Structure 1
Amino acid sequence: MTSAVQQQIFALDARFNAHRAPQSPSFRTLYIRRRSQLLRESGLSPDDCKQYLKLRTFLLQQRYGNPPSSNASDTLSRASIQFPQSRSNGSVVPTKEAEASRAMVGGNSIADNYAFVGVHHIFDQHTQPVTMIKFANNDKSRLCCCSIDGNLSICDVTSEPPTVSAILKGHSRPITGIDWSVNNDLIVSSSMDSTIRVWNVSDYTCLRIINDPNKAQILCCIFQPSNNNLLLTGNSRGELRIANVSTGRFMKNVCKIGGNLLCLTSDNNGKIMWAGNDKGEIYSVFCELNGGLCKTKKVILGSPCSITSLSYRAWISREARNPMLLVNATNNSLLLFSITDSEGALQIKRQFQNRQLRHMVKSTFCPIMSFRQGACVVTGSEDGSIYFLDIEKTGSKSVVNTLQGHAAAVLGVSFNYDESLLATSDLQGLVIIWKKGNI
């Protein structure tokens, strides 16, 4: 079966899946998982596949009626808008002729390298929205998921069959963020129960419970990259704080940002942090050696919105050195900023329209993007699709690939380090592992 038609059939089943056994979510998940398995095992010819797709569409519509429109075509039609030239400063990649880097991956096109079409596995261990997912650092197989149900799960996605290695329980309210330590021995989780928990990955036990001093909801967390004994957190009082893993306490230093701090990211050495809130503001914060935090620069988006995701990327290749910040916002925007100085100042480079008005949708840079001409990012969307965008292109040409398989808003996205697998999570609690078409 051709991978493209297979993906269309799977997307069709996913759109109708909400109508099946409304009182039994586990049955619906089992059904869609089995459908994916049957599609992978099918040996139909391309012509037979197309005929099968038409017939199945007719039968499903006859049985359930027309499913709610995902408006995917509308999103694609307005998928990319470039800022005026005065705000774009030309190419995002400093040198377009990235010959040395392209040679490392055989010179394939971006469309070839991001042909993620096959469904590798579907996880359904969470009963409520999975708000964030993250592969371990430099690891192909271990994936951590966190959910509104208050639980974390660790999955082995490359075992046969893929399995849930552990469910980590302890938080009493929704989990808002997770992060792996540099060597993957620890996981930190933040929650609306006003705590952060540090988990030992080797035996899945909770090592530390650290309470917010003001009992504020903790809405995001990351490890300090150069010192994994320190954690950075943002809370519902607009406070950026540092917690010490060894002592189990927050440090006295507080950086007042304002609003609800919804997301954090850091440069590679942890000197500059960026924090986004529900007022459409992005602050750059300098982190001193003694743990002090100092605001340096601020960017305010043009319309009131929430900043739901921040992702930092320093280019790897010799041909491209400028670091970038990728931003999701609830004004139907995915934005790319260039980091222009040592204080973390931001300059807008690209803006893409993406269906997002309510939910905590996230995006990420593709891990080895700077080994090719051009650059690619992937984002979730409230229309249930996953979009791959070439940030060097404009208009509809920027959409490199579109994955359809979720029947609800896609919240989380994460690559493993070699780009062989992509994980996505949604508002219904499903986690889909996608594989490249040539794997």
Structure 2
Amino acid sequence: MRLRGSPTPWGGFLSICSAVGSSSWQQAAILLELERGEKGSRGRTRRKRRPGNGCGVAAGLSSRREFRTQYIRRRSQLLRENAKAGHPPALRRQYLRLRGQLLGQRYGPLSEPGSARAYSNSIVRSSRTTLDRMEDFEDDPRALGARGHRRSVSRGSYQLQAQMNRAVYEDRPPGSVVPTSAAEASRAMAGDTSLSENYAFAGMYHVFDQHVDEAVPRVRFANDDRHRLACCSLDGSISLCQLVPAPPTVLRVLRGHTRGVSDFAWSLSNDILVSTSLDATMRIWASEDGRCIREIPDPDSAELLCCTFQPVNNNLTVVGNAKHNVHVMNISTGKKVKGGSSKLTGRVLALSFDAPGRLLWAGDDRGSVFSFLFDMATGKLTKAKRLVVHEGSPVTSISARSWVSREARDPSLLINACLSKLLLYRVVDNEGTLQLKRSFPIEQSSHPVRSIFCPLMSFRQGACVVTGSEDMCVHFFDVERAAKAAVNKLQGHSAPVLDVSFNCDESLLASSDASGMVIVWRREQK
């Protein structure tokens, strides 16, 4: 692993250290090399170092387990000292860029939801999600961005991103779907608490009842936000809520749909919301003032049942309708993308992209889950695989998650399907083929119950998922355990729990139910 123009792998890093003028940075570099060597010796067979490269002592130390605790303590001390001392911002940025290159060369390109969000946010910063005129894909796919709209991502960028995405699924060794005991440094940062201790809740933080008497099928925290929450209701409205400062309040209620709102999604920059409704329309909302920017009718004039943003290009939204079709819609033009439609075997109830935006999964009310390859340059959908979860059992929720650390590389899919089970599948190839990994008992036979992966699961041993249930409880499961997987259960709803959502740091959890109640739960502080 070398950087261009650097005589040694850490040459550029140490040059920054000398520029900063702090021996602590050099010590940190040595400690990072120790960690790198230790992880390499545990995870795979390392190549022998050539004599005279000056790293023999480091290699010897890295193989000794007793240095692990000392390393963690010293690393934390150095980070605290340097945080207090402060360093020029330019040098910090240069260090972070170099660190990113080193990690990328060591572990390969990242594809966690957080990294996809960071990639997309770079696009958003250059041009926030706006509804300026954009060249319509239907007119000429080759002319994207040629007229009236400044493109931030070129066709070549999409091709490069696609090559990076393929690395997620190719050359993946078999193993656990969750971080293992080898991830000592990551677990140390997250704390030594067990999953049961970590997901203990202190009680209800707040209860919203503005939609009482009508079901709330969807509740979502804004992206990378601790205190902004939205929920949609079958009364035809969407509520935007603020949890801090106390007391929590409903900032505004978005009205315009003439029938119930079935689903909604935040854009990555949180300035736009897209909603779908049983009135056969989707609407684009400005979250800042609550105004409806655009109303787009369904191409089939059918009830719209679900929606999701394309994670890399938020000008594109995928919707599913009651006439068995999925459509890729360009929200800048209000038109359907050419080649961006496909038919399923039933009413489309659930949609989910993988983090890089290359694979789309769609579930219907006949019990099937389809995978589609998404063309990043044109928005075209290509049907790839079909899995029958259970004939006749509606698939009400699909949630995708990718682990791309060395300890746990397997992308996974979480599915609710009216089987009184929560199903965890492994994604085995780059066409979205699914293999059942594990199932967990819940109550679900008729309601559209949803589930999620916990956002911070990759920092601790084991991994937690959360789901609603028709027994009026919120259930937590550890996906690493084959038996006794239940971690926690929250009681407080008086109707089937339909959806759950964590904020970005897992300090708050929101759950909604079939009676219109939304409960925000506060996690115990450790």
Q: What TM-score comes out, normalization by structure 1 length?
A: 0.78
Structure with the largest fraction of helix? 2
Distance of 1:354 and 1:96 partners within structure 2: 28
Q: Which runs of 5+ in 2 are unaligned?
A: 1-173
Counterpart check, 1:151 vs 2:233:
no
Give every structure 1 segment of 4 or more consecutive aligned residues whose post-TM-superposition deviation is greater than 4 Å: none
Distance of 1:94 and 1:121 partners within structure 2: 33
1:209 — aligned with what? 295
SS at match of 2:270: coil
SS at match of 1:307: coil
How do residues 46-65 of structure 1 correspond to structure 2 at under 5 angstroms?
none
2:118 — aligned with what? none
Q: Is the 8 A contact 2:345 2:368 kept in 1?
A: no
2:469 — aligned with what? 381
1:350 — aligned with what? 438
Task: Tell me how far 1:322 sits from its aligned partner.
Answer: 1.1
Distance of 1:235 and 1:281 partners within structure 2: 15
- Give the number of the structure with larger relative contact order, counting CA–CA contacts within 8 Å between residues 6 or more apart: 1
Once the two structures are overlaid, the 10-residue window that deviates more, 96-105 or 261-270, is 96-105
Counterpart check, 1:219 vs 2:305:
yes
Query: Partner amino acid for 1:307?
Result: V
SS at match of 1:102: helix
Task: Tell me how far 1:316 sits from its aligned partner.
Answer: 5.6
Counterpart check, 1:124 vs 2:209:
yes
1:257 — aligned with what? 344
Distance of 2:189 and 2:386 partners within structure 1: 38
1:108 — aligned with what? 193
Counterpart check, 1:359 vs 2:447:
yes
1:247 — aligned with what? 333
Structure with the largest fraction of strand? 1
Q: Give the alignment partner of residue 517 of structure 2, picking from 418, 430, 437.
A: 430
Distance of 2:414 and 2:325 partners within structure 1: 22
Counterpart check, 1:279 vs 2:366:
yes
SS at match of 2:178: coil
How do residues 306-345 of structure 1 correspond to structure 2 at under 5 angstroms?
306-315=394-403, 317-345=405-433
2:35 — aligned with what? none
Distance of 1:108 and 1:339 partners within structure 2: 29
How do residues 34-45 of structure 1 correspond to structure 2 at under 5 angstroms?
none
Distance of 1:235 and 1:384 partners within structure 2: 28
Q: Give the alignment partner of residue 498 of structure 2, picking from 390, 411, 414.
A: 411
Counterpart check, 1:185 vs 2:250:
no
Residue 322 to residue 188, structure 1, CA distance change in 2 (3 Å): same
Task: Tell me how far 1:92 sits from its aligned partner.
Answer: 3.0
Q: Is the 8 A contact 1:188 1:199 kept in 2?
A: yes
Task: Tell me how far 1:93 sits from its aligned partner.
Answer: 2.2
Q: Give the alignment partner of residue 234 of structure 1, picking from 320, 336, 345.
A: 320
Query: Partner amino acid for 2:194?
Result: S
Task: Tell me how far 1:118 sits from its aligned partner.
Answer: 1.3
SS at match of 2:493: coil
SS at match of 1:130: coil
2:382 — aligned with what? 294
Distance of 1:148 and 1:303 partners within structure 2: 28
Q: Is the 8 A contact 2:175 2:408 kept in 1?
A: no
Distance of 2:480 and 2:252 partners within structure 1: 40
The CA RMSD over aligned residues, in Å, is: 1.4
Query: Partner amino acid for 1:92?
Result: V
Identity of aligned residues (%): 50
The structure whose Rg is larger is 2
Task: Tell me how far 1:394 sits from its aligned partner.
Answer: 2.6
Q: Is the 8 A contact 1:195 1:217 kept in 2?
A: yes
Task: Tell me how far 1:90 sits from its aligned partner.
Answer: 7.0
Task: Tell me how far 1:425 sits from its aligned partner.
Answer: 0.5
SS at match of 1:302: coil
Q: Give the alignment partner of residue 198 of structure 1, picking from 260, 281, 284.
A: 284
String of CA shifts for 1:260-295, please: whole Å, max 9, x gaps.
Answer: 000100011211100000011010001112111111
String of CA shifts for 1:27-56, please: whole Å, max 9, x gaps.
Answer: xxxxxxxxxxxxxxxxxxxxxxxxxxxxxx
Q: Which runs of 5+ in 1 are unaligned?
A: 1-88
Counterpart check, 1:269 vs 2:349:
no
1:6 — aligned with what? none
Task: Tell me how far 1:158 sits from its aligned partner.
Answer: 2.4
